[in-house]
Amino acid sequence: MKKAAYIPVIVSYFFVLLFCYAAISKMLDFENFQVQLAQSPLLSAYAGFVSYAVLIMEFATAILLCIQKTNRIGLYASLGLMAAFTIYIYLILNYSDFVPCSCGGILEKLGWTEHLIFNIGCVALAITAILIKQKQEFPDLRLLKPVWISSIIMILSSGVVVSLFLSSEYIIKKENNFTRRFLQHPLEDEDAKIDLGFNSYYFAGYDDSYIYLGNVTAPMVLTTVDTALKSKSRMKIRLDKSDYPFRSIQMRVKYPYYYLYDGDVPVIYRGSLKDSFARTISYNDAYFTQLAVIDSSRFAIRTLNSRTQNYTIGSLDLSKSQKVRLYPSLIEKQTDGVFDSDGKLIIDPKNKKLSYAYYYRNQFLVMDSNINLINRLHTIDTISWAQVRAVALSDGRHKMGAPPLQVNKNMVIAHNILFNQSNLRGKFEDRDAWKQAAIIDCYNTDRQNYIGSFYISNRGKNKIAHFLITDCYLYILSGNELVRFRFAQSLLRQLKSGDAENLNKRVGNNY
């Protein structure tokens, strides 16, 4: 029994060493500690609060353990902390959407299961020390009271962690406060690339065998590259009638046709991919600023409503007598109805689902091929009101009065997922990494659900100009290059199911 009397002292010193080391390590690299918490599968939404709370509790517990009068309270506090850390790891191993890499400071060589065993051992040590101390100080009293107190502390501390987990998951996926989660190894290393010779290309479309490119400096040339990026060909397109005051001809491809248009001139041309001659299929039906091809005779358009002078989404159906129909309630005006509601109209070529993502606010629309609104969803940033200022000119035109805050930069919809290139840095994100890469946020288009994010690194000094998502690959245009990346199979399965998540950052158990 005399040897057992030293157990509370030894256990107290052990916890003092453990908590002081852990707290000091976090303080010396506090920014990285917050980043790790922000990437935690359980506590992402509360990274700011938890990062400070853990430090305070670890230092406070160490101090309580060092003072004779408060040593018992310190042991109870140690039990509560270790119980919380234990349930945290248990949830990661059994209920989290992913199991991150382990990096627990002094225990960084241990895996998650070993961490769990270590923590259970610490809980047992704390309980043992509490019971022995109770027997030493009050030998005539029964041990029922410290057992009950220890049980209540473990239940409460575990309950707090579980509550934070459930609440954090809801906030991250449904009501995100701009905390990103980064998918683990979403892309394999680039497996193909081709030098296009110029940096003025954009993606016009794709099919199972080819990627089709338009060129802003050569708008009448359709460039075809095989999906393996081994060869390319060019086709100079001829129009049946071309004496129009074109300003910016655009090209879209939906197999087996290509389409050319310039919304400033109300004309659309269509040609077979096997033929360089394009014929007029629509003239004087509608002026428009953007166009998405639904099928060979149906199009979704964005136009300037002549009555309201606001951007409006519409349909152009060449098979009907009333070809144009407008849907003025879809795009919502905030200030001027033009700059504040500017965005990009895109279509999923597989299921023909449409989306309109705003450039200057955290919202995107999801529509079916008949322009029926399915969802009005939000991106994870907090800019709900477009920060733009329009100035009216004397001739009735409007222009930007100041540089706007752009929220969303470029978008692609595929696999029922909106891949959105964000223009804003989220909470706890590394500034240098942001400068060296584009960031893509993924959203399920069936419901308000943020899936995760991943980086696409710049290629030297060249940033990502455009990107394209196919069934298995991510293609990017950067500088003069067209580059292909293969999606990891695990990510493909998750994206196709609208689920996630894995991290590409190391996340520890943070004690």
Both tokens of 435, joined, read 């400068």
Strand segments (E) across 168-297 = 192-195, 201-206, 210-215, 221-226, 232-236, 238-239, 250-254, 257-262, 267-272, 277-283, 290-293
pLDDT given for residue 499 in this prediction: 44
Tokens of 250: 């655009």
pLDDT of residue 447: 85
Question: Prior bond to 137 cis, omega within 30?
Answer: no
- Per-residue DSSP letter, 402: S
- Show Cβ contacts of residue 500 under 8 Å, excluding neighbours closer than 6 positions: 97, 98, 181, 183, 442, 451, 452, 494
Question: Around Cβ 153, how many Cβ atoms within 10 Å?
Answer: 20
Q: Is the whole-model pTM more than 0.75?
A: no
Q: pLDDT tens for the chain, 511 residues: list them.
A: 466 668 888 999 999 999 998 888 888 878 777 766 766 656 666 777 788 888 999 999 999 999 988 999 999 999 999 999 899 888 878 776 555 554 444 455 667 788 888 999 999 999 999 888 888 877 666 677 888 898 999 999 989 888 887 776 666 555 556 778 888 778 887 889 999 999 999 999 999 999 999 999 999 999 999 999 999 999 999 999 999 999 999 999 999 999 999 989 999 999 999 999 999 999 999 999 999 999 999 999 999 998 888 999 999 999 999 999 999 999 999 988 888 999 999 999 888 999 999 999 999 999 999 999 999 999 988 888 888 876 665 555 666 656 678 889 999 999 889 999 998 888 777 777 878 899 999 999 988 888 889 999 999 889 999 999 998 899 999 999 999 999 887 666 655 654 444 333 333 344 4
Burial (CB < 10 A; 0-12, 13-18, 19+), residue 397, is exposed
Residue 207 main-chain phi, psi, to 5 deg: -140, -165
pLDDT at position 2 is 60
Q: How far is it, in rounded angstroms, from Cα 304 to Cα 194?
A: 39
Half-sphere exposure of 172 (CA within 13 A, CB side): 30
